[in-house]
């Protein structure tokens, strides 16, 4: 993990499955266009946004880091699993890296299916699997410091004060 976000989008694509990492702001239109199909009666989009507080602390921003090749493979495995389990028409997962300010999206998950129930369930299951399994770390930045967390357990890791790990 070198801590630097990619300068361009990195992605893996299979028929009906798209996963990507980017340092650019996310586009819900792009995510939806990847999954829309005449075969799908339901399209569900989940957008995970940076909120302004966490545990009564004011959040300044989040900073996401990863080893992209490993994270993309993990995301693709999850997408394949969810696609098959819920008989989806298509699935797209895009995660943002680098600084994500309050109100901005850090993840978009778009799924399509012939019917709404599998689409709803697939979107939620996909998010939980991404948080549990994908090798992405986030620094929560607060006034005067922050803390690194792994998506997997959500537990606080190394505290950061004035930009330096303590």
CATH of the domain at 64: 3.90.1170.40
Give the pLDDT confidence score for residue 56 in this predicted structure: 87
- Give me the pLDDT at residue 162, please: 53
Domain membership flag for residue 52: yes
pLDDT by residue (tens digit) across 60-98?
A: 999 999 999 999 999 999 999 999 999 999 999 999 999
In percent, how much of the chain has pLDDT > 70? 86
**Is 116 known as a binding-site position?**
yes
pLDDT at 147: 87
Does 9 count as an annotated binding residue?
no
Would you state the pLDDT for residue 55? 85
Which pLDDT value is given to residue 38? 98
Whether residue 90 lies inside any domain: the answer is yes
Please spell the DSSP secondary structure of the chain, one letter per residue: ---PPPSS-EEEEETTEEEEEESSPP-HHHHHHHH--TT-SEEEEEEEE--SEETTEEEEEEEEEE-HHHHHHHHHHHHHHHHHHTT-SEEEEEEE-EEEETTSEEEEEEEEESSHHHHHHHHHHHHHHHHHHS-EEEEEEETTEEEEEETTT--EEEEEETTEE-
pLDDT of residue 153: 54
Asked whether residue 149 is marked as a ligand-binding residue, the answer is no
Whether residue 93 lies inside any domain: the answer is yes
pLDDT beyond 60 at 4: no
- The average pLDDT across 47-58 equals 93
128 among annotated binding-site residues: no
The confidence score (pLDDT) of residue 1 equals 41
Structural domain harbouring 142: 10-153
Give the residue with greater pLDDT, 161 vs 26. Answer: 26
Residue 48 belongs to some domain of the structure: yes
Higher pLDDT residue, 144 or 107?
A: 107
* Domain-located, residue 162: no
pLDDT digits (tens, 9 = 90+) for 91-126: 999 999 999 999 999 999 999 999 999 999 999 999
152 annotated to a ligand binding site: no
Residue 109 located in a structural domain: yes
According to the annotation, is 115 in a ligand binding site?
A: yes
Q: Is the pLDDT of residue 33 over 50?
A: yes
């Amino acid at each position: 993990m070198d801590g630097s976000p990619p300068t361009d989008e990195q992605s893996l694509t299979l028929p009906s499955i798209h996963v990507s990492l980017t340092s650019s702001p996310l586009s819900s239109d792009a995510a939806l266009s990847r999954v829309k199909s005449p075969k799908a009666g339901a399209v569900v989009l989940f957008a995970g946004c940076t909120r302004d507080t966490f545990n009564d602390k004011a959040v300044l921003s989040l900073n996401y880091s990863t080893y992209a090749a490993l994270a993309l493979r993990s995301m693709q495995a999850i997408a394949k699993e969810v696609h098959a389990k819920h008989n989806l028409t298509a699935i797209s997962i895009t995660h943002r890296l680098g600084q994500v300010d309050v109100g901005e999206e850090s993840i978009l998950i778009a799924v399509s299916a012939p019917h709404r129930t599998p689409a709803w369930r697939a979107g939620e299951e996909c998010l939980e699997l991404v948080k549990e399994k994908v090798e992405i770390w986030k620094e929560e930045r607060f006034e005067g410091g922050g803390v690194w967390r792994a998506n997997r357990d959500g537990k606080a890791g190394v505290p950061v004060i004035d930009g330096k790990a303590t």
